Amino acid sequence: MIRMLIVDDEEIITDGLFDVFSQLSLNLDLYKAYSGEEALDLLNTTRVDIVLSDIRMPGMDGLDLMRNIRSNWLHCKIIFLTGYNDFDYVYQAIQTPGVTYLLKSEEYDKIIKEVTDAIHELENSLKFHNLVQQSREQLTTLETLAQGNYFRYLLQGTRAPEELKVDFCKLGIMLDPALPILVAVGDLQRSNMHRSFAESQEAALAVKFLAESFLAERTDSLGIIDQFGRLVWLVQPKPTCGKEMEEAYARTVKFLEGQFELIQQACHDSIGITFAVTLCTDSCEWKGLSEMYDRIRSQQYRRAGDGAQMVHTINIEAIETAASSRTLKDKAELLAIHLEGGNREGFFYLFSELTETAFDERGNVGPFALELYFTIALLLLSYINRWELHDKIGTTGLMQRDRHASWQDSFAFLNQIAESLFDLRLSVERNRAAAVIGKVRSFIEEHLGEDLTLVRLASVTHFNPSYLSRLFKQESGVNLSEYIDEARIDKAKYLLKKDELKIAEVGAQVGYETPHSFTRFFKKSTGVTPMEYRETVRK
């Protein structure tokens, strides 16, 4: 969803524009601010796609705000509103791509048209069918595969910076081995899983190539496809003058959160692929890459919901346990890919193929049946341990083949364990989604008089705003904004019935600082004003 921020120091203008666009079907996620400073606070915490702003405000004016926007979100469209009549001056001041100028005397229709045009430009800019081909010309598939192999080599142990520098140069890796890195892991969704290995690799490559165009704006990055078909991004901020290293990495994290949302939308619109991203907000040294990679992977399982189009941020301190699955044997790798990705159909199709090879045409046990059994059993045990499911899945007999009456019973037992793993994974995702929604509802009830924008609620759950909005609708059956409005109306009615507070005080307790804003909201929802409602209750 496209996010638009309305900024004006005159509250009646800001609220009026907010109400106008709220009633239009423009697929907009709306926010408002009453000063340049307040707008900048929001822009520093989340991606904004369109800013509709007064150009002349006390303190930070529109032009100062524009310069801050351009330093963080180059794609953002800016529409200035002003009553200032010296057009030549304003025209000279805003000769910046993506900026439009309108007089405040223009009718709403003109403002709506400019916003609609900006929306269409943003939507079209995400449909980059030709970017895959352009990126293929810049970085060949062979080089990508070589870098992926090198990534697996890096995970095996510490390498000296001098060695890394030589390797990076030969492999075309534009990263600095002397600087720390940010790590993100992308997981292609279950609907994207292909039985063919070549198709899976092609899908992952397409996402990788598209992502490079978005990340190159502010970072140096390397996209890699790991052995499980996931995408791994290693990212460093581009060298900047006059900025502390810590600040540069913090800004880059915010940039990545916003850009990954755009990458997800572009991949969905252009090539029909959806994927989730887990991003660690802590940077790490190259020697800590292996541990960081394993920790991020361990957190991907601990997600709420199905993860489609999710950008999940984590930090190292919040991660209690981490386990590596790279010790699985070669024959179990593809099974592990399906298990890791939740691809039940692919897992059991391959499981059936493997178990059939354990017997010859007459049904006799082949020479490698024992090896096959323990390879699969060790894979399942590894995931039971990693996902901490010992109390839900019994492992008695798992590593004791001779406890089963026949080889057919042995493989049937493994099949049953795998079925339980898939069922429990789906159940755990649903339970975590319910817990997240419960947390959001409790936060709303406790903070009805405060800012309840989607951005703030997203910061409580550590999910990106669009994913939280979709998850809430999916789990609750209502839009998050509708739920908040309903909660505020219920509390307002309760306070009005008690007849202890003034109308303005009731409005303040449900998040409306000015009486006329509260009255407009209450009447729109109930059909009567707060005073009329109170009088009715008294009678």
Domain boundaries, the chain: 2-125, 140-318, 330-417, 447-538
* Residue 328: per-residue pLDDT: 35
* CATH top-level class of 447-538: mainly alpha
- In 214-285, DSSP assigns E strands to 219-225, 231-237, 275-280
Rounded average pLDDT over 316-320: 59
Specify whether the CB–CB gap between 278 and 184 falls below 8 A: yes
The pTM for the full model equals: 0.62
Of the candidates 423, 435, 421, which has an alpha carbon nearest to the alpha carbon of residue 386?
Answer: 421
Check if the beta carbon of residue 480 is closer than 8 Å to that of residue 454.
yes
pLDDT tens profile 485-516? 999 999 999 999 988 899 999 999 999 988 89
Confidence of residue 322 (pLDDT cuts 50, 70, 90): very low
φ/ψ of 439, rounded to 5, equals -65, -40
Question: Alpha-carbon distance 62 to 40, whole Å?
Answer: 11
Amino acid (1-letter code) at residue 36: G
pLDDT at 148: 77
pLDDT at 320: 46
State the angle between helix axes of 62-72 and 245-271 in degrees (0 to 180), rounded to the nearest 10: 80
pLDDT, one tens digit per residue, over 451-471 is 898 889 998 889 899 999 999
Instruction: Tell me the CATH number for domain 140-318.
Output: 3.30.70.270
At 95-124, the pLDDT tens digits run 666 688 888 778 889 999 999 999 988 888
Query: Which pLDDT band holds residue 81 (cuts at 50, 70, 90)?
Result: confident
Q: Tell me, what's the pLDDT at 411? A: 92
- Type of residue found at 259: Q
Whether pLDDT at 143 is above 80: no
Task: Name the pLDDT band for 236 (thresholds 50, 70, 90).
Answer: very high
Please report the pLDDT score of residue 523 as a whole number.
Answer: 93
| Model confidence pLDDT, tens digit, residues 54-65 | 988 898 988 889
Q: Which amino acid is it at 460?
A: V
483 contacts 472 by C-beta, under 8 angstroms: yes
Alpha-carbon gap, residue 321 to 295, rounded angstroms: 7
Q: Which of 288, 310, 42, 5 is nearest to 159 (CA)?
A: 288
Q: CA 287, CA 157: separation in Å to the nearest integer?
A: 7
Residue 447 banded pLDDT, cuts 50, 70, 90: very high
Correct CATH for 2-125 of 1.10.150.20, 3.40.47.10, 3.40.50.2300, 3.30.70.2190: 3.40.50.2300
**The tokens 């598939």 sit on which residue?**
141
Q: Token pair for residue 317?
A: 């301190």
| 391-430 per-position pLDDT tens digit | 888 788 888 888 888 999 999 999 999 999 988 888 877 8
- Residue 94: per-residue pLDDT: 62
What pLDDT, on the 0 to 100 scale, is given for residue 528? 94
